[in-house]
Amino acid sequence: MTKNTRQRIVDAAMELFWLKGYSSTSIADILSRSQVNSGSLYHFFPGKQDVLVAVLEAYRDGIGPMLLEPAWGGVDDPLEKVFALLARYRRSIVDTECQYGCPIGSLALELHEPDPAVRELLAANFTAWVDAVEACFREAAYRFEPGTDLRALAELTLNVMEGGVMQARTYRDVACFDRAVAQLRRMIEAMLVRDLAE
């Protein structure tokens, strides 16, 4: 049984926006990849931007099942969960021969005057990511020096990931990403309580 039309459109658009970006993806691209006709797409969505909104909602709703859970399979240590998540990005970079871009980060920089709905969904995606990383740090809170700002550390993790992905893509070299993660790891280890640090 083939999935419903609306879902096929969102799936196709999600992949195309990731591969080519938003403005370089035409409605015709979406139609041909999803095997849907123009009339059907405009039946479900008023316009291209509304497809983008649906895509961003799908990313936000899928962050657990599509990103975190696959990354965390078999990993129990909360700090290592953070690095397992980063390792998943590394895998994406390698699998795409260093052409990978974080879909949310790329859209956040590509769209220069986004609708409020779009911008808020971009922010919601970042927030969900940072929340998840912060939750890992909190699970390991007792290992950090008292008073450590774990929210700020989670935000820094996102920033380092986004920067590392950007550099790896630009230099076509995953080592850029690796160095970024290594710096982050060194920093985090320096923030741990001495006796408990490995």
Partner DNA sequence: GTCTATAAAAGGATAGAC
Partner DNA sequence: GTCTATCCTTTTATAGAC
State the minimum distance, in angstroms, from the CB of residue 31 to DNA: 8
Q: Are 56 and 118 in contact (CB under 8 A)?
A: yes
Can you tell me the distance from the alpha carbon of 131 to that of 63, in angstroms, rounded to the nearest whole number?
11
Pick what 21 binds: DNA, a copy of itself, none; C-beta below 5 to 8 Å, kind-dependent: a copy of itself
Largest distance between two CA atoms of the chain: 65
Closest by CA to 176, choosing from 162, 188, 165, is: 165
Can you tell me the distance from the alpha carbon of 162 to that of 167, in angstroms, rounded to the nearest whole number?
9
Contact positions with DNA (CB under 7 A) in 104-123: none
Pick what 5 binds: DNA, a copy of itself, none; C-beta below 5 to 8 Å, kind-dependent: DNA
Query: If binding is defined by CB under 7 A, does position 170 make contact with DNA?
Result: no
Can you tell me the distance from the alpha carbon of 17 to that of 19, in angstroms, rounded to the nearest whole number?
6
What mask, x for binding DNA by CB under 7 A, covers residues 38 to 77?
A: xxx-xxx-xxxx----------------------------
Cβ-based neighbours of 60, under 8 Å, separated by 6 or more: 121, 124, 125, 128
Can you tell me the distance from the alpha carbon of 177 to that of 161, in angstroms, rounded to the nearest whole number?
8
Binding site for a copy of itself (CB under 8 A): 19-21, 23-24, 99, 101, 105-106, 108-110, 112-113, 119, 122-123, 126, 152-153, 155-156, 158-164, 166-167, 169-172, 176, 179-180, 182-183, 187, 190
Pick what 37 binds: a copy of itself, DNA, none; C-beta below 5 to 8 Å, kind-dependent: DNA
Binding site for DNA (CB under 7 A): 4-5, 25-28, 36-40, 42-44, 46-49
